[in-house]
Copies of this chain bind each other. A is one copy, B any other.
Amino acid sequence: MAAARIQGLPVVTTENRDAPGPFLIVCEHASNHFPAAFGTLGLPPAAQKAHIAWDPGALGLARRLAANLNAPLVAAGISRLVYDLNRPPHSPGAMAARSETFDIPGNAGLAPAERRRRTEAVYLPFHAALHAEIARRLAAGTPPVMVTIHSFTPIWFGKPREVEFGIIHDADPTLARAVLAEAKARTGLDCRLNEPYSAADEVTHTLRLQATPYGLANVMLEVRNDLIADPEAERAMADGLAPVLRAALAAMSPKPAEKAAV
């Protein structure tokens, strides 16, 4: 396990770094930690624990998937409300002043200097660590297949969501379509492509920044968080999704990562 720290801040942790499997698992919204350097942004305790601060269950699912798939895992260590690692630095959503029904007082009217401070302290080290894992594998001739793990709230602005498993792609839909087909065949989940979000909602920044430029096969997975609400449920979901990912990769022929090799 390797951790990048800035002034004692665990921005990013890489687990199973030398695992030889074909996948690379990423979890940008793994934690609802609010480090002292940034404070709790004026949020009451309930808001600090809500889905706006992190993706509940995503880290547990990502860890078990990484174990099942013998894959490295790159996971963030701080709340997405300090910096949302799946957004570029010029996006209002990178340091959101409002999320669903919550105001985030500490993000209102941020000065450029504070946006730069968070970008340098959180965004850059996380993406540098992820880039390093990708580049190491490319150099060794083994382009990774990138899978980002997210969870979403079952109720959004008061409305229940029926989708249980969302499969989201950026420019290259190949792996996402294969995962959708295998998930429909192998699980009882309500599986949908590009729901509850899509690239048009600007949620594919990590894929676009890290996978698309290299032609890596990639997909963003969104699991409804009531389905991964405790460690047993996380384990069951991982046990169900690991064979889906393996079968989806096997179904891609030739693999985009190989096609794109230059």
Given A88-B214, A212-B213, A213-B213, A116 and B131 contact (CB-CB distance below 8 Å):
no
Number of A residues contacting the other chain (C-beta, 8 Å)? 35
> In the complex, which residues of chain B have a beta carbon less than 8 angstroms from the beta carbon of A120?
132, 135-136, 139
Given the known interface contacts A131-B124, A212-B213, A213-B208, the answer about A119 and B139 at a Cβ–Cβ threshold of 8 Å is: yes
Report chain B residues within 8 Å CB of A140.
112, 115-116
Q: Which residues of A contact B (CB under 8 A)?
A: 87-91, 93-94, 112, 115-116, 118-120, 123-124, 127-128, 131-132, 135-136, 138-141, 143, 202, 205, 208-209, 212-214, 261-262
Given contacts A124-B135, A136-B116, A261 and B208 within 8 Å (CB-CB): no
* 8 closest Cβ pairs, A-B complex: A89-B139, A119-B139, A89-B138, A90-B138, A112-B140, A115-B139, A116-B139, A209-B213
- A262 and B112 alpha carbons, distance in the complex (Å): 16
Given contacts A212-B213, A213-B209, A262-B202, contact A90 B132 (CB under 8 A): no
Q: Which residues of B contact A135 (CB under 8 A)?
A: 89, 119-120, 123-124
Q: Which residues of B contact A141 (CB under 8 A)?
A: 90, 112, 115
A108–chain B nearest beta-carbon distance, Å: 16
Which secondary structure characterizes the binding site on chain A?
helix
How far is it, in angstroms, between the C-alpha of A205 and the C-alpha of B215 when the chains are bound? Answer: 11
The answer for the CA separation of A91 and B112 in the assembled complex, in Å, is: 38
CB distance from A146 to the nearest CB of B (A): 14
Kindly report which residue of chain B lies nearest to residue A83, judged by CB atoms.
Answer: B139
Among A118, A135, A212, A214, max chain B CB count under 10 A is at A135
Known: A124-B131, A124-B132, A139-B112. A90 touches B213 (CB 8 A): no
On chain B, the residues within 8 Å of A261 by CB distance are 90-91
- Contact partner of A138 (CB less than 8 A), chosen from B119, B143, B213, is B119
